[in-house]
Amino acid sequence: MARKSKITITLGPATETPEMIGALIDGGVNVFRLNMSHAPHEWAAKMTKQVRAESEKRNSHTAVLFDLTGPSIRTGDVETPYELKMGDKVEFRAEGSDASIPISTTVNYPGMMNDVTAGNVLVVDNGALLMHIDRVDDDRIICDVRTPGKLGSRRHINLPGVRLNLPALTPKDHKDLALAVECGADFIAGSFVRDAAHVRELREAMEALEGDAQIVSKIEDQEAVRNIDSIIKTTDVIMVARGDLGIEVDFEDLPILQRRIVKRCHELGTRVIVATQLLESMISNPTPTRAEVTDVMNAAYEEADSLMLSGETSVGLYPERCVEALVRITSRIERSGGHGFGQNVILRDERQKTARAAVTLADSLPDARLVILTRRGVLANHVAMMRPRTNGIYAVTPTGKVCRQLSLTRGIRAFKMAFSSNIEETVERATEELRSLDLVRPGTPIVIVSDILSDHFAANSILLHHA
């Protein structure tokens, strides 16, 4: 039984060699993420070329995702980290302002003083430090430390529940976006997306550079959750980015929000990635904790399109074992079934209704396969979103870029093949390819669904064929 859940991993010092990239592709990786918060441009361009080269050697369609930094708030540089005790006072000031108390650092967002009020909670370094805002001045805020810890340089700041007037794209994001387009990125992720306007701004900026990547919107704060429907409808892929989201909301609410977002993505027909801390302990340990196994199992049971690893593969000691763990856990839970959110897809047009009819037919035939003929991949994504029970869902498209963009779609295996004007020839060539790979046997029923036009085949059509 082929694995349906796709695997996205982050490249870094632990995984940057061609040999390791090749081994990870062999191990089951479908998408490589480049985290532009830490990636120099020269390195990112080099990694993209290496992924392309190793994929070509294997005749695979492995995608590259550029993850933009986004408008994150960070502390400034400090000579030595501050050791903070409960009750200490900490100052966060605009750059250019002088310190007024001993424990003081700058922030890279001067507008923060206008967005917050006394009484707000301030979280530093992904939850390592909790503070209470005591006083707000024009160019600084004074906080009371509520949990002891260490405050170092360039630490990330969260302000749960606060509406921040940050731009959708920073000057750095625009530079990184230009690089992503130049490198031919398959996916570009926007960080801290808060509404549909942010998604449109990112897409318009990419298209102005003549880019054709698909947009991934990272859900990381309460405002994004409130606007989730409009974001889902505007983007190509949603990422449940549980790191920042888990700080922005009460931690006991996070699993509920994850499930609600995944379910809503199914209903509205948009792919979804579950990310962050899936196998966090494996950064330094060779096996996952039992809680991590259950967490991965839940994401696969929810039938998310892809599961993503970050530090586990970028800096961890056991990147290959992490991928193996994801493969083993997801493959096992897929054999026992899933939540069935695909039954709730809202059918809004003829193409989606055709996809539903094709899936219903394939699921009613023992050992049937689904083949989708598609130029842009849209119909293939609609078919996959219905979560067919058949173990063979194959997309045939004439474009390598579309094949790579389908590498994020649950259950789909894409093949690059030119279409003939004669539908019989196209179907026979696709069938021969599946036979050569031992994916079908003589007599296997194949449900072929298409949204392309040819001499004898109308758009949004279904054909039952036997291998």
Predicted local confidence at residue 459, as pLDDT: 62
**CATH fold for domain 347-466:** Pyruvate Kinase; Chain: A, domain 1 (3.40.1380)
CATH number of 73-158: 2.40.33.10
Predicted local confidence at residue 126, as pLDDT: 83
- Can you spell out the DSSP letters for 141-192? EEEEE-S-EEE-TT-EEE-TT------SS-HHHHHHHHHHHHTT-SEEEETT
- Angle value at C-alpha 354, between 352 and 357, nearest 5 degrees: 115
Predicted local confidence at residue 455, as pLDDT: 53
Annotated active-site residue 74? The verdict is yes
Tell me where in the chain the CATH 3.40.1380.20 domain(s) lie.
347-466
Q: Which of 194, 203, 218, 321 is catalytic?
A: 218
Q: Which of 3, 33, 271, 321 is catalytic?
A: 33
Task: Look at residues 430, 436, 432 and name the one whose alpha carbon lies nearest to residue 448.
Answer: 430
Class of domain 6-70+169-334: alpha beta
Q: How many helices (H) and strands (E) does the chain have?
A: 16, 22
Q: Which of 3, 4, 6, 74 is catalytic?
A: 74
pTM score over 0.85: yes
Predicted local confidence at residue 210, as pLDDT: 97
| Angstrom distance (rounded) from CA 176 to CA 271 | 24
Residue range 442-465, pLDDT digits in tens: 999 999 999 776 555 556 789 898
Q: How many CB atoms lie within 10 A of CB 351?
A: 17
Q: Which of 276, 313, 354, 431 is catalytic?
A: 276
Annotated active-site residue 218? The verdict is yes
Tell me where in the chain the CATH 3.20.20.60 domain(s) lie.
6-70+169-334
Annotated active-site residue 348? The verdict is no
Q: What residues of the chain score a pLDDT lower than 70?
A: 1, 453-459
Q: How many CB atoms lie within 10 A of CB 428?
A: 13
Decide if 323 contacts 28 (C-beta within 8 A): yes
